[in-house]
């Protein structure tokens, strides 16, 4: 509550309101809609993981851990990255445990972006990038993914806008932010894409922030291509990952950032005055659990089954499905529906869908700064089969 004694002050983020995820989740709750909007699992995590965290608490691992994270967890991460992407990060000087991917992103941006520096992002983009750049005083240079359309003009898939990226990246570029697998489109970068990015930044002083929080959600036998697997990119990249996504514990907010020692040193200067340390028992629990790779090795099959189940049900709706090679998001085009609401903006369509059909989704337009409508909305399929079935039953009442 403000009073006459509260001085006025200018907002540091004047354009920021409540995120679309919070808005849609509140609307879903109000209308008892099935929430396929916000990206979080509605099923429990493995009890073994919880037992390991409990064990850590009972063993009195409840005080401040080392600022950079406990050694066992950093060692485990280094081993995992070496095994999967064939790059050796030094766990002591190149890996830092963070309070989720979001804090890793903010801290990395604050560590390297100075007022006036240009930061290239690719829209649709995860919503924390822009405000973080703004807080650092940087200038966001946004390029848009190309929307590839089918013969009837509906969105069919996305492609990296290489020409625009080439124009956007130059001597003044401080940072380029990429996200693969990509939220919200599910797009996955290929090895050739990383090669092309490496060529674009070669000879510039641009660093890379690679948001790979969905690294273990890549389907149909395909592979995730991490910047860690690309020596030229690894040498200039902050690699961001999140245990929340991988272990179905989004509420724990534990993640990590891997980067070359010189970049990590600057990162840690900010980190130590930002959060300083991250939840000790969770770190012990995750370190013990990470030693067995089976969970993340099985994750693609686990989520692919959900994707395929949801997709098969959506085939009986009038939505047009876009490809989902990665993440736990399915995008659909609604602009071909034979109902007046097909003409609504993405945000209004999502409101209508939540209120009248009882299923919440997220408008892809919310991931752009400037109004950009392509008639596409995003569903999250990280849900139990019964939740997906109930949502599909409701969506199947929509007519073509
Ligand atoms: C692309 C992307 N990056 C980062 C995050 C944040 O991860 P965390 O919950 O670990 O902060 C999310 C969460 O939805 C995301 O989708």
Of 98, 108, 126, which is best to mutate to test ligand 1, by the most ligand atoms within 8 angstroms of its C-beta? 126
Give the CA distances from residue 3 to residues 11, 12, 344, in Å, rounded to whole numbers and listed in that order: 18, 21, 41
Confidence tier at 152 by pLDDT (50, 70, 90): confident
Confirm or reject: Cβ of 37 under 6 Å from ligand 1: no
383 Cβ contact partners less than 8 Å away, ≥ 6 residues apart: 36, 41, 42, 43, 306, 391
Dihedrals phi, psi of 141, to nearest 5 degrees: -110, 105
Using DSSP bridges, classify how beta strands 359-360 and 34-35 pair: parallel, antiparallel or unpaired. Answer: parallel
Confirm or reject: Cβ of 181 under 6 Å from ligand 1: no
Confirm or reject: Cβ of 335 under 6 Å from ligand 1: no
Strands (E), the chain: 34-35, 95-98, 118-123, 139-144, 146-149, 155-159, 173-179, 207-211, 237-242, 255-258, 320-321, 329-333, 359-360, 362-363, 376-380
**% the chain with pLDDT above 70:** 99
CA distance 79 to 63: 26
Closest to 40 (Cα-Cα) out of 31, 28, 51: 28
Give mean pLDDT, residues 76-80: 98
Contact of 40 with 362, CB cutoff 8 Å: no
CA distance 388 to 14: 38
Give mean pLDDT, residues 387-392: 98
Q: What is the mean pLDDT of the chain?
A: 96
Measured from the Cα of 100, ligand 1's closest atom is 10
Give mean pLDDT, residues 111-134: 97
Confirm or reject: Cβ of 354 under 6 Å from ligand 1: no
pLDDT of residue 400: 64
Give mean pLDDT, residues 92-115: 98
Confidence tier at 171 by pLDDT (50, 70, 90): confident
Of 242, 274, 282, which is best to mutate to test ligand 1, by the most ligand atoms within 8 angstroms of its C-beta? 242
Selected residue with higher pLDDT from 27 and 399? 27
Does domain 20-45+301-395 fall into CATH 3.40.50.150? Answer: no
pLDDT of residue 17: 85
Q: Where in the chain is the domain with CATH 3.40.640.10?
A: 62-294
Q: How far is the CA of 182 from the centre of ligand 1 (A)?
A: 11
Render 47-101 in DSSP notation, one character per residue: HHHHHHHHHHHHTT--S---TT--HHHHHHHHHHHHHHH-----TTTSEEEESHH
End-to-end CA distance of the chain: 49
Confidence tier at 1 by pLDDT (50, 70, 90): low
Give the CA distances from residue 141 to residues 23, 28, 56, 167, 316, in Å, rounded to whole numbers and listed in that order: 27, 34, 45, 11, 40
Bridge partners for 143 per DSSP? 122
User: Each residue of 259-311: pLDDT tens digit?
Assistant: 999 999 999 999 999 999 999 999 999 999 999 999 999 999 999 999 999 99
Using DSSP bridges, classify how beta strands 95-98 and 255-258 pair: parallel, antiparallel or unpaired. Answer: antiparallel
CA distance 52 to 288: 7
pLDDT at 394 over 80: yes
Q: How far is the CA of 213 from the centre of ligand 1 (A)?
A: 6
Q: How far is the CA of 290 from the centre of ligand 1 (A)?
A: 20
Q: Where in the chain is the domain with CATH 3.90.1150.10?
A: 20-45+301-395
Q: How far is the CA of 246 from the centre of ligand 1 (A)?
A: 11
Closest to 389 (Cα-Cα) out of 326, 331, 314: 314
Give mean pLDDT, residues 322-340: 96
**% the chain with pLDDT above 90:** 92
Give mean pLDDT, residues 248-263: 98
pLDDT at 243 over 70: yes
Dihedrals phi, psi of 256, to nearest 5 degrees: -155, 160
CATH code for residues 62-294: 3.40.640.10
Q: How far is the CA of 336 from the centre of ligand 1 (A)?
A: 31
pLDDT of residue 332: 98
Q: How far is the CA of 282 from the centre of ligand 1 (A)?
A: 18
Render 288-306 in DSSP notation, one character per residue: HHHTSTHHHHHHHHHHHHH
User: Each residue of 43-66: pLDDT tens digit?
Assistant: 999 999 999 999 999 999 999 999
Residue 350 DSSP SS3: helix
* DSSP-assigned letter for residue 182: P
Residue 33: left if φ>0, alpha if ψ -120 to 50, beta else—which one?
Answer: beta
pLDDT at 18 over 90: no
Give the CA distances from residue 143 to residues 21, 261, 307, in Å, rounded to whole numbers and listed in that order: 23, 30, 29
Of 180, 185, 212, 213, which is best to mutate to test ligand 1, by the most ligand atoms within 8 angstroms of its C-beta? 213
Confirm or reject: Cβ of 365 under 6 Å from ligand 1: no
Confirm or reject: Cβ of 242 under 6 Å from ligand 1: yes
Of 102, 105, 210, 282, which is best to mutate to test ligand 1, by the most ligand atoms within 8 angstroms of its C-beta? 102
pLDDT at 21 over 90: no
Residue of the nearest CA to atom 7 in ligand 1?
101
């Amino acid at each position: 509550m403000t009073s006459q004694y509260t001085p006025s002050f200018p907002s540091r983020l004047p354009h920021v309101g409540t995120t679309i995820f919070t808005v849609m989740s509140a609307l879903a709750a109000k209308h008892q809609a099935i929430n396929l909007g916000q990206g979080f699992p509605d099923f429990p995590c493995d009890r073994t993981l919880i037992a390991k965290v409990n064990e850590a608490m009972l063993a009195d691992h409840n005080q401040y851990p080392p600022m950079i994270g406990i050694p066992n967890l950093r060692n485990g991460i280094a081993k995992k990255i070496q095994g999967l992407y064939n790059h050796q990060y030094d766990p002591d000087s190149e890996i830092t445990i963070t309070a989720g991917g979001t804090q890793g992103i903010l801290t990395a941006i604050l560590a390297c972006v100075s007022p006036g520096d240009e930061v290239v992002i690719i829209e649709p983009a995860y919503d924390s990038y822009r405000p973080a750049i703004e807080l650092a005083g940087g200038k966001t240079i946004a390029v848009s993914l190309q929307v590839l359309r089918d013969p009837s003009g509906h969105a069919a898939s996305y492609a990296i806008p290489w020409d625009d990226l080439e124009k956007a990246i130059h001597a003044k570029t401080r940072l380029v932010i990429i996200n693969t697998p990509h939220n919200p489109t599910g797009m996955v970068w290929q090895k050739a894409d990383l090669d092309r990015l490496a060529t674009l930044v070669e000879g510039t002083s641009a660093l890379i922030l690679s948001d790979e929080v969905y690294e273990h959600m890549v389907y149909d036998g395909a592979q995730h291509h991490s910047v860690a697997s690309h020596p030229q990119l690894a040498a200039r990249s902050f690699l961001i990952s999140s245990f929340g996504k991988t272990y179905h514990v989004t509420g724990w907010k534990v993640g990590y950032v891997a980067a070359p020692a010189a970049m990590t040193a600057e990162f840690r200067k900010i980190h130590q005055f930002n959060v300083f340390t991250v939840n000790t028992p969770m770190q012990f629990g995750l370190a013990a659990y990470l030693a067995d790779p089976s969970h993340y090795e099985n994750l693609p099959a686990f989520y692919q089954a959900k994707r395929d189940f949801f997709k098969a049900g959506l085939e009986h709706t009038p939505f047009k499905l876009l490809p989902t090679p990665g993440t736990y998001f399915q995008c659909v085009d609604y602009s071909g529906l034979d109902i007046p609401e097909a003409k609504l903006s993405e945000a209004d369509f999502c409101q209508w869908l939540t209120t009248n059909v009882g299923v919440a989704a997220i408008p892809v337009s919310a991931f752009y700064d400037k109004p950009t409508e392509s008639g596409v909305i995003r569903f999250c399929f990280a849900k139990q089969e019964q939740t997906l079935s109930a949502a599909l039953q409701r969506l199947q009442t929509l007519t073509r």
